[in-house]
Amino acid sequence: MPAVPFSLPPDARGIFPDRMIAAMSEAGLILPAVPFTEGQVQPASLDLRLGDVAYRVRASFLPGPHVTVAERIDELKLHEISLADGAVLETNCVYIVPLLESLALPPSIVAAANPKSSTGRLDVFTRVIADGTRHFDMIGAGYHGPLYAEISPKTFPVLVREGSRLSQVRFRTGDAVLDTDELEALHAAERLVDRDDADLTDGVALSVDLSGAQSGGFIGYRAKRHTGVVDIDRRSGYAMDDFWEPIPARPDHSLILDPGEFYILASDEAVQVPPDYAAEMVPFDPLVGEFRVHYAGFFDPGFGYAGAGGAGSRAVLEVRSREVPFILEHGQIVGRLIYEKMLARPDTVYGRDISSNYQAQGLKLSKHFRA
């Protein structure tokens, strides 16, 4: 079929909604090896699917200018694994998987990738790489070429197969980030976070809940070691107790993060993303390097939104300490939500329209586990 023309107004700025992502595919700007599957196009992003082979490589890498990912794979691969019938990716190994989607972006459109929520909550470190790039998860304007996923499970070995969806990509044009004045006006109209003293400097500040008051005396979960395999595509297939240890609140409302351990915690605040906006969590302070919070940073239009069945949802935090033990205190700010304008309201929003897994959530593990 011939490509359908695709154009944007010169002054357009915003995140592409679902119907524009579909239109990009029809116009040949997104090139799937096989047609999209049901639910792959999300309100403000596109799920990316694994191809049929994974390459075990010696180390993570970026190709750099004028070098393709395929060339680097040839230099670094140890062996290749067929994903046609599924395969287990072992912990602390690095794999590169060609994706079923490639891009042919015009000069006005850039793309950014992130792990899906369920991927981050399994502690599967996943990033997207493109040819010639100096950055993970960033695809520059005008990029024409394939996409690859770098995958490194950190806690649980995972079973994946061709078509598994670990990452998602957003498309944007122009600068769509709300400045402080715009964010304050939106908060006044929509109450983005359930705090009267909300900190809106450089985004909506989110703090960690270590009181247990909202979760029956528990503050989160610590991942167990030496567990069985988790099938990425299996919903409610595993008993929580086989993989996770609940963490009760301490009297002093603190938590010592042990190096190398993985935790699921929750924000003290309930947040919402109105349907005409999208959000992304970024680190509170990049100079605080003792711990990493939130692998999966995209928040879709409608997340926590009352009109989409949310009435405010707490942000689930994927937390991993680094080289030294680190003490978290209740109410400590751990991240900020950056809000961006959508180019248009999505046809479907996160929540009721698409039976989203984490709408109206509190402290919640990924969809793979049952209580």
pLDDT confidence of residue 106: 94
Q: Please check the confidence at residue 248 and state whether its pLDDT lies above 70.
A: yes
Residue linked to tokens 């490589």 = 57
pLDDT confidence of residue 287: 55
Q: What's the average model confidence in pLDDT over 313-341?
A: 91
214 — pLDDT class (breaks 50, 70, 90): confident
Residue 6 lies in a domain: no
- Domain hosting 141: range is 14-173
Q: Are residues 103 and 119 in the same domain?
A: yes
pLDDT confidence of residue 1: 45
Report pLDDT digits (tens) over 159-183: 999 999 999 999 999 999 999 999 9
Report pLDDT digits (tens) over 108-136: 999 999 999 999 999 999 999 999 999 99
Residue 343 lies in a domain: yes
- Residue % of the chain over a pLDDT of 70: 92
Residue 3 lies in a domain: no
- Residue % of the chain over a pLDDT of 90: 78
> Domain total for the chain?
2
Q: Are residues 61 and 205 in the same domain?
A: no
Q: What's the average model confidence in pLDDT over 302-316?
A: 75
Q: Are residues 164 and 208 in the same domain?
A: no
Cβ 20 vs Cβ 97: under 8 Å: no
Residue 2 lies in a domain: no
Q: Please check the confidence at residue 193 and state whether its pLDDT lies above 60.
A: yes
Residue that terminates a domain, selected from 115, 146, 173: 173
Q: Are residues 107 and 185 in the same domain?
A: no
**Phi and psi angles of residue 71, each rounded to the nearest 5 degrees, phi first:** -65, -40
For position 169, which CATH number holds?
2.70.40.10
Q: Please check the confidence at residue 81 and state whether its pLDDT lies above 70.
A: yes
Compute the half-sphere exposure of residue 267: CA atoms within 13 Å on the CB side of its CA: 25
pLDDT confidence of residue 309: 47
Q: Are residues 109 and 167 in the same domain?
A: yes
Choose among 371, 247, 259, 228: nearest CA to 322: 259
Q: Are residues 201 and 335 in the same domain?
A: yes
Q: Are residues 209 and 164 in the same domain?
A: no
308 — pLDDT class (breaks 50, 70, 90): very low
Q: Are residues 100 and 227 in the same domain?
A: no
Q: Please check the confidence at residue 280 and state whether its pLDDT lies above 70.
A: yes
Ranges 85-89, 203-207, 353-357: which has the least confidence: 353-357
Residue 5 lies in a domain: no
DSSP assignments along 113-182, one per residue: EEE-HHHHHTTEEEEEEETT-SSTTEE-TT-EEEEEEEEEESSS-EEE-TT-EEEEEEEEES--B--HHH
Report pLDDT digits (tens) over 263-276: 999 999 999 999 99
pLDDT confidence of residue 288: 58
Choose among 317, 319, 321: nearest CA to 259: 321
Residue 166 lies in a domain: yes
Q: What's the average model confidence in pLDDT over 144-167?
A: 97
pLDDT confidence of residue 306: 76
Report pLDDT digits (tens) over 68-79: 999 999 999 999
Residue 196 lies in a domain: yes
Q: Are residues 101 and 192 in the same domain?
A: no
Q: Are residues 95 and 137 in the same domain?
A: yes
Residue that terminates a domain, selected from 124, 156, 173: 173
Residue that terminates a domain, selected from 140, 173, 206: 173
Residue 327 lies in a domain: yes
pLDDT confidence of residue 56: 98
Tell me the one-letter amino acid at 5: P
pLDDT confidence of residue 323: 81
Residues near 184 by beta carbon (within 8 Å), at least 6 away in sequence: 200
Q: Are residues 210 and 349 in the same domain?
A: yes
**What is the C-alpha end-to-end distance of the chain, expressed in Å?**
48
Q: Are residues 351 and 227 in the same domain?
A: yes
Torsion of CA 150, 234, 346, 102, to 10 degrees: 30
